[in-house]
Structure 1
Amino acid sequence: MGDQANAPANDKITLATIGNGKMMGGSHLPHFVNMPEIQVVAVCDVDTNRRDEAKRIVDQAYGNGDCETYVDYHDILARDDIDAVAIGTPGHWHV
């Protein structure tokens, strides 16, 4: 059963992120992990430093080491347990 700070498990949206640069890693991801209706379960980035930092943010927020990391975004899209994906692309990809 949920309350103001914790959504019931069945009401949580499982989320993965693809691209964890300045906006995703520095702004969006820290907000996602503090939203009771969202459970971030995976992060993906080709840059090892950004990928590891995103995992650290998620694991620290949840107090565990459960966040999965990926280099290839296809692996995230292939998972059937992820409800939503937040994608952060660099400026030259915005079109």
Structure 2
Amino acid sequence: MFAGTLTIDLLLGDVHSLKGKRSVVRPLVAELRRAFDVAVAETGHLDLHRRSEVAVAVVAADAAHCTDVLDRCERAVAGHPEFQILSTRRQLLSSDDD
């Protein structure tokens, strides 16, 4: 069994308040959950209105499937013009890891 995580640091476009931030980040989180059957949450920069960190997690029987799902999630986020990806971090863990 493998677990993969993807953390995406985002710069938001024309957002001027935390309420405005929620109105663009929440639909992204919902879209990723629905489209890719992954666990997603906003995990960082909670008090900044122009920045967000979104984390995605997936569990699969093989590493290739984890990598494929995380690749598709990253491409989906990159396809949104209201976000600029500043950085991404990935981690892949195996049930055999100590």
TM-score bin (small chain): 0.3 to 0.5
TM-score by length of 2: 0.33
Give the number of the structure whose residues are more often strand, by fraction: 2
User: Quick check: which has more Rg, 1 or 2?
Assistant: 2
TM-score by length of 1: 0.34
